[in-house]
Structure 1
Amino acid sequence: MSPAATIATDATDPAQVVAFQGAPGAYSHLACREALPDFAPLPCATFEDAFAAVREGRAACGLIPIENSTAGRVADIHHLLPEGGLYITAEHFLRVRHQLLAPKAATVKSVKRVFSHVQALSQCRRIIKDMGIEPVVSSDTAGSAREVAERNSPEEAAIASSIAGELYGLQVLRADIEDNHTNTTRFIRLERQRRDPDPQTGNSLTAIMFRVRSVPAALYKALGGFATNGVNVVKLESYLSDGFRVAEFYAEIEGHPAHRNVDLALQELEYFSRSLKVLGVFTAHPFRSEA
């Protein structure tokens, strides 16, 4: 196994462990290596397991995908955030680069079938069509790479991350084969304690979850404080809970709660809401200004 693909073990200091959802070699594993190269990644079967690993102290933090530029928001994450007992402390953007991986004996001409998650296959339609190979849907990208490596057939390939190729000993037949070269996944870093950045440094984002009161124009009134106090809302998503009777909202705003205009806007939001929780304050990733 290459050093880049090292996985956390029971002997690893939890203070140097980052939990992620997925199998070794998943894109979340690659995101961990990019965002926290000095941490040992801990693969978890589900998002709930990743949250629990951080909450129980088996990992210092978790790196969880929250949205993708092509596929949209990641299901279940916003439902886990309010009750997960963790706080957002940073964000990371991963450019999704799909690799066509195959056993060492395989060639571009020998490959007849390619295995991967349905989204990865759909994101690489052009090369699959050009090569005239059969796409086969599997449960995930990393698992596809592992299974192709185990069968060791020159007729099979997988679409997965570069780290999956390193981990399972596969060669890259074609690199960066995705149709859309701007495909990007946004991850959030979760920890047990809030770690608000210095309010004087700028570029702060505040993540909140709130429920509005069941009265006419409640959302309009609740959000009015952001407009009157000059606070920019950069993200707003709604969710139905409690048997489709209650509207819950996840929002991200520019600024720090220590800034007077943000504080006033949050006070007004709280007045018109049934509940309000700050999920974290963090520094905006440089990718936002580069995109």
Structure 2
Amino acid sequence: MTNKISYQGEAGSNSNIACTERFPDMEAVPCASFEDAFAMVENGEADLAMIPIENSIAGRVADIHVLLPESDLQIVGEHYLRIRFDLLGIPGSSIESATEVHSHIHALGQCRRMIREHQLTPIIAGDTAGSAREIRDWNDPRKLSLAPPMAAELYGLEVLSTGVEDDPTNMTRFVVLARKQALPIRAQLPEDVITTLVFQVRNVPSALYKALGGFATNGVNLTRMESYMVGSTFAATTFMVDIEGHPEDLPVRLALDELDFFTWEVKVLGTYAASEHRHKMTAEFV
């Protein structure tokens, strides 16, 4: 055991915050790319990886739906992070004298009102925390950063405005990845369980309807479904879905049997305890 957890991004990023929230006793290791974060776990350099999979505003995180099924990793947990952004500048700077704001493209898109209000020019950076580091290095009061609260202290920047995101309910769902292993048996998990799987259907009429019919007839709830094309022929579609339940549960077992009949391939990416945040979300809409 290394007691390390890898993530994509720089120190102070939202992925870094997610690691420290969920696993405060583990060493969070930054990686330049998702592939590098995956590789650290696959090579045994880290025990876990914390990977964002979807955002309540921006939707799914690009590339993960392709990388995850092809990796030697599986999902062993999930974590929800409330996304917050502060406006940062070098000491002595001010919003009034600034002309540019730098951050990840998603962060810029989630803080449009503030950017428009102060007539700042948005500049895309590779990472939210990375933009804070660049602002420190440039030492230019005309350039500001949109970054998570942790970044200000890490990079010695001044907080010019807090909570500048447009939507206070902005949330990102992360999945926790580990090296592939046998799925935990039902008795090892709590009652509320999520199973993530991918399957491929033919590009013919009613293919998806027939594939999903088993979930409906057996009362299995789907909480998420994403689709994407496979290869260059545009002749087959792969779906990634989250369902409530364990493969050992009778309704899930029957649904998966039907799914297998109408698809080319079904691959379970992980079965894991549902986050407490799901209960809060469900209570709000009941």
Q: TM-score, normalised by structure 1?
A: 0.89
What are the equivalent positions in structure 2 for 1:117-266 lying under 5 Å apart? 117-192=104-179, 193-194=181-182, 196=184, 198-199=186-187, 201-213=190-202, 216-243=205-232, 244-266=234-256
SS state at 1:177 partner? coil
SS state at 1:48 partner? helix
Tell whether the 8 Å contact from 1:87 to 1:194 is kept in structure 2 after alignment: no
| Equivalent of 2:74 in 87, 108, 131 | 87
Structure 1 residue runs of 5 or longer lacking an equivalent are 1-13
Q: 1:96: how far off?
A: 0.9
Tell whether the 8 Å contact from 2:203 to 2:235 is kept in structure 1 after alignment: no
Q: Using a 3 Å threshold, how does the CA distance of structure 1 residues 279 and 27 change in structure 2: closer, same or farther? A: same
Q: 1:216: how far off?
A: 4.4
**One-letter code of the match for 1:73?**
R
Tell whether the 8 Å contact from 1:197 to 1:204 is kept in structure 2 after alignment: no
Tell whether the 8 Å contact from 1:207 to 1:280 is kept in structure 2 after alignment: yes
Q: Using a 3 Å threshold, how does the CA distance of structure 1 residues 167 and 82 change in structure 2: closer, same or farther? A: same
**One-letter code of the match for 2:11?**
P
Aligned length in residues: 278
Structure 2 residue runs of 5 or longer lacking an equivalent are 282-286
Identify the residue that residue 51 of structure 1 maps to in structure 2. Answer: 38
Distance 1:151 1:60 in 2: 36
Q: 1:116: how far off?
A: 1.7
**One-letter code of the match for 1:162?**
P
Distance 2:3 2:185 in 1: 21
Q: 1:108: how far off?
A: 4.0
| Equivalent of 1:280 in 270, 276, 279 | 270
Identify the residue that residue 3 of structure 1 maps to in structure 2. Answer: none
Report which stretch shifted further, 124-133 or 280-289: 124-133
Report which stretch shifted further, 190-199 or 168-177: 190-199
Q: 1:198: how far off?
A: 4.1
Q: Using a 3 Å threshold, how does the CA distance of structure 1 residues 208 and 156 change in structure 2: closer, same or farther? A: same
Q: 1:152: how far off?
A: 2.1
Identify the residue that residue 18 of structure 1 maps to in structure 2. Answer: 5
Distance 2:55 2:182 in 1: 25
Distance 1:123 1:56 in 2: 35
**One-letter code of the match for 2:75?**
I
Q: Using a 3 Å threshold, how does the CA distance of structure 1 residues 264 and 172 change in structure 2: closer, same or farther? A: same
